[in-house]
Structure 1
Amino acid sequence: MPDVVRKPQAGVRSERDDAYAAMMVRAKALVPQLRDRSSRTEELRRLPSETERDLHDAGLFRIVQPKRAGGSELDYVALVDFADTIALADASVAWNLANLSSHHWMLGMFDRRAQDLVWNQDADALIASSFVFPAGRANKVDGGYVLRGRWPFSSGVDSSAWNMLAGVVSSDDEADGIEYRIFLLNRSDYRIIDTWNAAGLRGTGSNDVEVDGVFVAEAMTLAVAALAGGPTPGSAVNPNALYALPVFSLFPYVLSGVALGNAQACLDDYIDVARHRASTYNRAKLGDLQSTQIKIAEASAKIDAARLIMRSTCIQAMADARAGRIPDMATKTRLRRDGAFAVNLCTEAVSLLFSASGARGLSTTGALQRQFRDAQAINSHIAFNFDAQGTNYGRVALGLPSENLTL
């Protein structure tokens, strides 16, 4: 992959650029050992303890955590870039890295009391999530909320001390309607249910969690309406524009880099094999076949286009936030559309290369079958479902209201 796409923005170097570059060196150094460990990660169905330690030691979980808590506070594009790098080794590890890192970013938008409660105890504490709003129901009570529900797909939950769970707040007065809110709970307040047996992203430990009528203080919650772009409750202590980004509009880019690195690894492996391998059928060198050359060109074009979409979107979002620009609904639905489209390009690239690899791709001991399974699993996330995201973009473009109430 061309190194230029991993560099910070062009121009005069800053302290942030140097921090980014140093962190990227550490991330790249982990790739060989994480790849060697990928089979064990799948067997465990969660991150091995040594992988968690490697990521902690490198500071990778804290790339977008506020500096006041000891984090690196890198620009939002770091979520794409570091997931891209780690997914060269293992998409499951990259998925948990990006997912868990992003929750430090989101916690930076909560009331300071929530931030201090978590980070004063342990600034390295991992925070899981499940943003499936219909899964949780909350009732407003004096001083906070009572929350109950069962949430699926809480990636990295076994490694986490906290969890951000989405829910719908109901009111006794139907005229008040409903409110979408995020609740931050300590591990002692929920039960983990071992449900994660999946064909792809097997090592993410995306188990269910259950909450049965737990009180959550007001300061440990955050209204989705406060995450639409602009100052958040956390902005008083974290004034960086990073913590004023529109969270759910940019949600696809938290995880899109995983698809990117997984596709790049698949392409790199395919090129390496084609350079040296002869066809089993007629002993022709695969690299001399026009069909091989065309497939490399097509797959690489899809991956490069996806990378350009992801990175430029995140860089522009930071520029807008620094200028105090809050995206309108048309822009927000475009962000979701483009995030899904970019990941779909990565999935198409992997599928193309898997098909071109013939029987070699069927070996359960090789990386290709894992890359294919992981690509399909990534693409199955609702954020990357182009039918859903494309439909909503089209609705808004036609003057109809958005169906996504979190934007």
Structure 2
Amino acid sequence: MVATLDKTERLTDILGKLGALGPTLRERALEAERAGRLSDETIADLAATGAFDIASPVEFGGAELSVRQQLDVIIEASKWDGSVGWVVWAGASTDWIPAGSGPRVLEEVYGSEWAGPRVAGSSHFPASRGRAQRVDGGWIISGGPWTFATASLWAPFTNLGCIAEDPDGTYLVAAQVPRDELVFLDDWHVAGMRGTGSISVKLQSDELFVPEYRGVDFRRITSGAIESGLAGSLWKAPALGWSFSLMAGMSIGIAQGALERFLERSAGRSIRGTSYKNQLEAPLTHLMLAEVHSKIQSAVLMMRANADETDRLGELAAAGTPADAEYLQLFSARVLMETAYAAKWCAEAIELLQRNSGATAIMDFEPIQRSWRDARVITLHGALNLEALSENYGRLMAGIQPHQFAGITTLDRFTPAPATRPTERRSSR
């Protein structure tokens, strides 16, 4: 009970500090868009709120909030600026990767003082251009560049997805690389989420030696095959439930912020082509607001339920009574699909607000147009292909196995990988 109270108090403190910082984050958003990244000042200010510690282990001074509590933080950060929410989410939603990589990686990532995201991740999909070759004592990694490396500009390590091929098969390796071994490319020129600085990275040289403990078969991470030494149930929670419940928090926060901004700017504003002098008094506005609320609230309720279930499953596993593999597969497929729906509904809600905001809402200083673009970018994330995710979940509902594929969102991950070398061939396609 004491730990729960401590975490509740820490959550309240973080949310309070984020709320106080929020107007400043919104003011800085246009500058961040033009720069293609958050400023170092913003990263420092966010670090001071504790936002980058929400998923860090308590053994290293982190808050280690529950997934449900982390969701509240992502929503609050995203409400003020979608790019801020994305960077905070990227930091929190990848903490399970070093935790699943073993104690030495954990010590490197969390053992020293750092003001900002602790770890970034890039290209944990089968389309990775990175390659890993096993050698004595570790790996030689090459290739790249590694794309969409959110938070790598500010993290001490970036975890790079690399494809390994040997006589036993093709599989994904997660390689933990220090920032001073990386080159950051100026290639983040996009329609939305411009302030995230989600640039590509490449190696300083053509090849890099990565010690054995820093290069881990990704299946061993996703299956929890490596003992972390961390005591909390968070580290036993299903990774997809954790990462993607939080991802939906970005869509929810952006939509909530857009709704607040609409109500603020619409008071006393007339509606062209009608006799209404105050937009907030018009029935057409009331109908629209009810639809916006319903879309956002549907996303909120789904993601709160998924976050709560993720926490419950972590507690069961920590107590030695994990859920069976069939249920974990079904739940993970559901979370992915429902996250895609939450992103869709929130983007649609913002489009309604945008369409009813008049021509001035297209100006770059107006937060609503940025919310509109940012929310649509989330729906285009490589892991949120709504139709594919819907088919996979529908297949499971019908008693048919989902499509098998390699990568971070694979659903056939519930049989632990071998302790050393892979014995099952995986396609890299």
> Which residue number corresponds to residue 103 of structure 1?
94
> Which residue number corresponds to residue 426 of structure 2?
none
**Measured at CA, do residues 293 and 226 of structure 1 come closer, stay the same or move farther in structure 2, by a change above 3 Å?**
same
**How far apart, in 1, do the equivalents of 2:271 and 2:116 lie?**
50
**Measured at CA, do residues 186 and 18 of structure 1 come closer, stay the same or move farther in structure 2, by a change above 3 Å?**
same
Counterpart amino acid of residue 373 in structure 1: R
**How far apart, in 1, do the equivalents of 2:304 and 2:173 lie?**
29
More contact order relative to length (CA 8 Å, sep ≥ 6):
2
Q: 1:389 aligned to 2:392?
A: no
- Matched-pair contact (CA < 8 Å) for 1:163–1:185: yes
Q: Which runs of 5+ in 1 are unaligned?
A: 1-8
Q: 1:309 aligned to 2:302?
A: yes
**How far apart, in 1, do the equivalents of 2:73 and 2:328 lie?**
28
Q: 1:87 aligned to 2:88?
A: no
Q: 1:184 aligns with which of 168, 171, 176?
A: 176
State the secondary structure of the residue aligned to 1:137: strand
- Matched-pair contact (CA < 8 Å) for 1:65–1:108: no
Counterpart amino acid of residue 316 in structure 1: E
Counterpart amino acid of residue 132 in structure 1: F
**How far apart, in 1, do the equivalents of 2:332 and 2:221 lie?**
12
State the secondary structure of the residue aligned to 1:308: helix
**How far apart, in 1, do the equivalents of 2:268 and 2:227 lie?**
54
> Which residue number corresponds to residue 337 of structure 2?
337
State the secondary structure of the residue aligned to 2:364: coil
> Which residue number corresponds to residue 5 of structure 1?
none
**How far apart, in 2, do the equivalents of 1:250 and 1:75 lie?**
9
> Which residue number corresponds to residue 38 of structure 2?
47
State the secondary structure of the residue aligned to 2:200: strand
- Matched-pair contact (CA < 8 Å) for 2:43–2:116: no
> Which residue number corresponds to residue 371 of structure 1?
371
Aligned-pair distance for 1:404? Answer: 4.0
Range with greater deviation from structure 2 (181-190 or 249-258)? 249-258
**How far apart, in 2, do the equivalents of 1:169 and 1:314 lie?**
33
State the secondary structure of the residue aligned to 1:219: helix
CA RMSD between the two structures: 2.2
> Which residue number corresponds to residue 3 of structure 1?
none
**How far apart, in 2, do the equivalents of 1:224 and 1:153 lie?**
19
Aligned-pair distance for 1:234? Answer: 4.6
- Matched-pair contact (CA < 8 Å) for 1:181–1:222: yes
Counterpart amino acid of residue 295 in structure 2: K
- Matched-pair contact (CA < 8 Å) for 2:140–2:209: yes
Counterpart amino acid of residue 164 in structure 2: V
Q: 1:206 aligned to 2:170?
A: no
Aligned-pair distance for 1:105? Answer: 4.2
Q: 1:252 aligned to 2:241?
A: no
Q: 1:288 aligned to 2:277?
A: no
Counterpart amino acid of residue 357 in structure 1: S
> Which residue number corresponds to residue 402 of structure 1?
403
**How far apart, in 1, do the equivalents of 2:350 and 2:60 lie?**
39
Counterpart amino acid of residue 355 in structure 2: S
State the secondary structure of the residue aligned to 1:164: strand
**Measured at CA, do residues 78 and 168 of structure 1 come closer, stay the same or move farther in structure 2, by a change above 3 Å?**
farther
> Which residue number corresponds to residue 416 of structure 2?
none
Aligned-pair distance for 1:13? Answer: 6.2
- Matched-pair contact (CA < 8 Å) for 1:109–1:235: yes
Q: 1:112 aligns with which of 89, 103, 119?
A: 103
> Which residue number corresponds to residue 217 of structure 2?
223
- Residue pairs, 1:3-152, within 5 angstroms: 14-124=5-115, 126=117, 127-130=119-122, 131-135=124-128, 136-148=130-142, 149-152=144-147
**How far apart, in 1, do the equivalents of 2:241 and 2:134 lie?**
27
> Which residue number corresponds to residue 320 of structure 1?
313
> Which residue number corresponds to residue 155 of structure 2?
160
State the secondary structure of the residue aligned to 1:319: helix
State the secondary structure of the residue aligned to 2:161: strand
Encode CA deviations 1:332-362: one digit per residue, 9 max, x unaligned.
2112111111111111111121122232322
**How far apart, in 2, do the equivalents of 1:313 and 1:271 lie?**
30
State the secondary structure of the residue aligned to 1:178: strand
Encode CA deviations 1:149-180: one digit per residue, 9 max, x unaligned.
22111112222221011122211x1xx22222
**Measured at CA, do residues 252 and 196 of structure 1 come closer, stay the same or move farther in structure 2, by a change above 3 Å?**
same
Aligned-pair distance for 1:124? Answer: 4.1
Counterpart amino acid of residue 178 in structure 2: N
**Measured at CA, do residues 123 and 38 of structure 1 come closer, stay the same or move farther in structure 2, by a change above 3 Å?**
closer
Counterpart amino acid of residue 159 in structure 1: W
**How far apart, in 2, do the equivalents of 1:186 and 1:83 lie?**
26
Aligned length: 393
> Which residue number corresponds to residue 257 of structure 2?
265
- Matched-pair contact (CA < 8 Å) for 2:109–2:156: no
Range with greater deviation from structure 2 (320-329 or 26-35)? 320-329
- Matched-pair contact (CA < 8 Å) for 2:137–2:212: yes
> Which residue number corresponds to residue 361 of structure 1?
361
- Matched-pair contact (CA < 8 Å) for 2:252–2:300: yes
**How far apart, in 2, do the equivalents of 1:128 and 1:318 lie?**
23
Aligned-pair distance for 1:249? Answer: 5.1
Aligned-pair distance for 1:244? Answer: 1.4
Q: How high is the TM-score relative to the length of structure 2?
A: 0.86
Range with greater deviation from structure 2 (272-281 or 45-54)? 272-281
Aligned-pair distance for 1:366? Answer: 1.1
State the secondary structure of the residue aligned to 1:165: strand
State the secondary structure of the residue aligned to 1:194: coil
